[in-house]
Amino acid sequence: MDTPQREFERTWQPRLWLSLAALILIVAYVIAFVVGNSEKTSVNFVFTSATTSLIWVILLSLLAGLLGGVLVSQVYARRRALTGQAEPSEENEPGL
């Protein structure tokens, strides 16, 4: 029969608790970020303007940048494939 101390040592999962603490900190940061950027702001487009929360401007800009980066990388990869150039990782590998 294991003692309570030995049982605790056997079932203790520090990685689980560290992951849980990191998740709690990330959620708290996101909540603070949203609350800190909840003020209204005006976004001026060329032909119109809109008033929205600053957090939405930040998130939509992040999304547009992410989508733009993915699309540019896909165009770059397709252009390299069509011209027959090797990927950068393939260029440095020794020949067989």
Q: Each residue of 51-64: pLDDT tens digit?
A: 999 988 999 999 99
Position 49 scores a pLDDT of 92
Is residue 53 within 8 Å of residue 39, measured between CB atoms? yes
Position 22 scores a pLDDT of 96
**What spatial distance separates the first Cα and last Cα of the chain, rounded to whole Å?**
59
Residue type, 86: A
**Which carries the bigger pLDDT value, residue 44 or residue 5?**
44
Residue type, 1: M
* 11 Cα distance to chain centroid: 32
* 20 Cα distance to chain centroid: 18
